[in-house]
């Protein structure tokens, strides 16, 4: 079985994001970047499937700037076999899904694993769009993934509890936080990752138009929350909820 995993380069989750002074976006200069946490989980799950003998090859794909090579190398150090970088700036979810669709047709994987969302855009769209474009089975927000004779069994979190789906291959799976805990890449594996193949191409090479369809007009900081107050007793609380907040 061949697995394709999509990863994204984002601002590290420990960094406090700041808006640029001209309000055109967030500040990325001299900011630590890393692999999207949900993508790390996707890579880890693919590597575990390979360690169990379920998968034979793991291909990691990233769609973004040239610096995303570092993100791919991280995935290679975790255990992936080879990487593909599609250079594109500000690619939107539909364009990313179309690029992945073209790569799926080229690489013919049996399973595509993605993080359920990226922590920068929080769109939660690419996996579902890719599944629709390919006409493949999909299992979103996977918190458990098990190989079965028919394909895979997916446990996913829903509002009412847990839902279990049976997926036939080929399929698209998006990962949730509780699926696994990603490993740290060891120094020997980091060194080995430098020798693993990494191909570079553009959306045009795949016949995809990745031109953004939306324009960002302005980016601003969230409004500052007002400080709360303390009330001396329940009667005062009820009075404020009734007369000021008017919620009762």
Q: Would you state the pLDDT for residue 158?
A: 87
> Taking the CA of residue 247 as centre, how many other CA atoms within 13 Å lie in the half-sphere pointing to its CB?
5
The structural domain count of the chain equals 1
Phi, psi at residue 25, to the nearest 5°?
170, -165
- Asked whether residue 248 is domain-assigned, the answer is no
Q: Strand, coil or helix: what is 118? A: coil
Provide the β-strand partners of residue 172: 112, 138
Domain enclosing residue 170, as ranges: 2-243
- 147 CB neighbour count, 10 Å cutoff: 16
Contact 176, 39 (CB under 8 A): no
What's the CATH number where 207 sits? 3.40.50.620
- Asked whether residue 172 is domain-assigned, the answer is yes
Q: Would you state the pLDDT for residue 69?
A: 96
- Asked whether residue 24 is domain-assigned, the answer is yes
> Taking the CA of residue 97 as centre, how many other CA atoms within 13 Å lie in the half-sphere pointing to its CB?
19
pLDDT in tens, the chain (248 residues): 999 999 999 999 999 989 998 988 888 888 999 999 999 999 999 999 999 999 999 999 999 999 999 999 999 999 999 999 999 988 999 999 999 999 999 999 999 999 999 999 899 999 999 999 999 999 999 999 999 998 999 999 888 889 999 999 999 999 999 999 999 989 999 999 999 999 999 999 999 999 998 888 999 988 888 888 899 999 999 998 999 888 88
- Asked whether residue 40 is domain-assigned, the answer is yes
d(CA 58, CA 1): 9
């Amino acid at each position: 079985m061949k697995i394709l995993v999509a990863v994204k380069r984002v601002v590290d989750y420990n960094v406090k994001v700041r808006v640029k002074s001209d309000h055109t976006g967030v500040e990325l200069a001299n900011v630590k970047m890393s692999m999207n946490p949900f993508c790390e989980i996707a890579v880890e799950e693919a590597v575990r499937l390979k360690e169990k003998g379920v998968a034979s090859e793991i291909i990691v794909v990233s769609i973004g700037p040239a610096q995303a090579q570092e993100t791919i190398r991280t995935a290679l150090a975790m255990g992936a076999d080879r990487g593909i970088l599609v250079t594109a700036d500000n690619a939107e979810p539909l364009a990313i899904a179309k690029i992945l669709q073209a790569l799926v047709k080229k690489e013919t994987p049996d399973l595509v694993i993605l993080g359920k969302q990226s922590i920068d855009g929080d769109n939660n769209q690419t996996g579902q769009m890719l599944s629709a474009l390919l006409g493949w089975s999909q299992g979103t927000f996977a918190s458990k993934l098990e190989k079965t004779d028919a394909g895979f069994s997916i446990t996913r979190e829903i509002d009412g509890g847990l839902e279990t789906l049976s997926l036939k291959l080929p399929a698209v799976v998006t990962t949730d936080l509780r699926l696994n805990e990603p490993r740290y890449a060891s120094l020997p594996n980091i060194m080995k990752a430098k020798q693993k193949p990494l191909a570079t191409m553009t959306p045009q090479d795949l016949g995809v138009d990745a031109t953004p369809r939306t324009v960002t007009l302005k980016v601003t900081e969230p409004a500052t929350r007002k400080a709360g107050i303390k009330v001396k007793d329940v009667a005062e609380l009820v009075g404020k909820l009734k007369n000021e907040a008017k919620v009762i």
